[in-house]
Structure 1
Amino acid sequence: MTDREPTTVTNLDQYGSPALPWSRPRDELANSPADRDTPYFLGTARPDGRPHSAGIGATWHDGALYFVSGPGTRKSRNLAANPACTVSAHLATLDLVLEGEASRVTDRPTLERLAAVYRDNGWPAEVDGDALTAPFTAPSGGPPPWYLYRLNLRTAYGVASAEPHGATRWDF
């Protein structure tokens, strides 16, 4: 998958700042895997409609956001019932909310590529069948193996926390 450009850009800033270019969050996402301190939060809906939020380890690769979760976790069970979700992140110069649908990745070439990305960033992931495994993961990840998900981006919102300031919605 290659990075897509937004089809529409909406300036949400109430103070006269121009719309932010999509390249700003895209580039910060691409540079964030080396920064283990970048917090990402996945928002899903339980089967009864109540919200659920959980911290995740995410990485931006080839224009898409990927994350892992054990099949028995609440977040994976929610995604199996309803793939609509959000991923929120506090990046270096802006707060970002990504909206879309998560799809489970099972093809071996993509699993191998992402396992290598995770290894390069300090998590010794390996492919195990149609999932990933490693000697450890985050406490909320559940036991191995872990499913790999790709966020199919529909809409993003960014609010800059550094110059140049602004607030923008990007639709894809």
Structure 2
Amino acid sequence: MTDHEPHTRLDTRYSDETATATPWPRAEALLAEAELFWISTVRPDGRPHVTPLLAVWSSGALHFCTGPGERKARNLERNAHVTLTTGTNTWDKGYDLVVEGEAVRVTDDRRLRELAAAWEAKYGAVWHFEVRNGHFHHGSGNALVFAVAPRTVFGFGKGEPFGQTRWRFG
């Protein structure tokens, strides 16, 4: 996944004069701590689809899961480009992040067990997954797991000073 430092730039067009670029380790910490994300995918007819979900930051990528019949999974079959967002619903405090990348299916059971442990550590026992045959299993259903290594991330510092940082990978 993402194993190198990105190119970091403060966009002065959208930042206060006193703002500085947010360091990537701070953005990574915010991604790891965030409880809720919104994923944007593209429907077969080109219309956007947006829905909330849980995600885990691990090994330089955001990971999420979804049932194979859910709209986002069906959208990803045709177009793997996604945007994941997280932050606060306030204007003048907090920090928002927008992660752009490609959703890649994770099927290795060893890696899935690591991710299942990370899910449970972050969200509690209600999110306990068994792993078999390249899927998460929970109750009577199974879920596909995807990794999104960022290509570009945008960070929006809100409050004094307002600032917009962009991190580019690759």
| TM beyond 0.5 | yes
Structure 1: 5+ residue runs without aligned partners? 33-37, 136-142
Q: CA deviation at 1:156?
A: 0.5
Q: CA deviation at 1:5?
A: 1.3
> Are the counterparts in 1 of residues 2 and 149 from structure 2 also a CA contact under 8 Å?
no
Percent of residue pairs bearing the same amino acid type: 41
Q: CA deviation at 1:20?
A: 1.7
Whole-angstrom distance in 2 between the partners of 1:105 and 1:164: 39
The answer for the alignment partner of 1:150 in structure 2 is 147
Question: Normalising to structure 2: TM-score of the pair?
Answer: 0.85
What amino acid is the match of 1:105?
A: V
Considering only aligned residues, what root-mean-square deviation do their CA atoms show, in Å?
2.0
> Are the counterparts in 2 of residues 66 and 148 from structure 1 also a CA contact under 8 Å?
yes
Residue pairs, 1:16-165, within 5 angstroms: 16=17, 17-32=19-34, 38-90=35-87, 93-121=94-122, 122=124, 123-135=127-139, 144-161=141-158, 165=162
> Are the counterparts in 2 of residues 11 and 18 from structure 1 also a CA contact under 8 Å?
no
Q: CA deviation at 1:19?
A: 1.7
Whole-angstrom distance in 1 between the partners of 2:98 and 2:61: 14
SS in 1 for 2:141: coil
Q: CA deviation at 1:99?
A: 0.2
Q: CA deviation at 1:164?
A: 5.7
Structure 2: 5+ residue runs without aligned partners? none
> Are the counterparts in 2 of residues 112 and 127 from structure 1 also a CA contact under 8 Å?
yes
The answer for the alignment partner of 2:4 in structure 1 is 4
Whole-angstrom distance in 2 between the partners of 1:70 and 1:89: 21
Q: CA deviation at 1:162?
A: 5.2
Question: Normalising to structure 1: TM-score of the pair?
Answer: 0.84
SS in 1 for 2:27: helix
What amino acid is the match of 1:82?
A: N
> Are the counterparts in 2 of residues 6 and 171 from structure 1 also a CA contact under 8 Å?
yes
Count of matched residue pairs: 160
Whole-angstrom distance in 1 between the partners of 2:108 and 2:10: 35
SS in 2 for 1:48: coil
* 4+ residue runs over 2 A deviation: 1-4, 7-14, 161-165
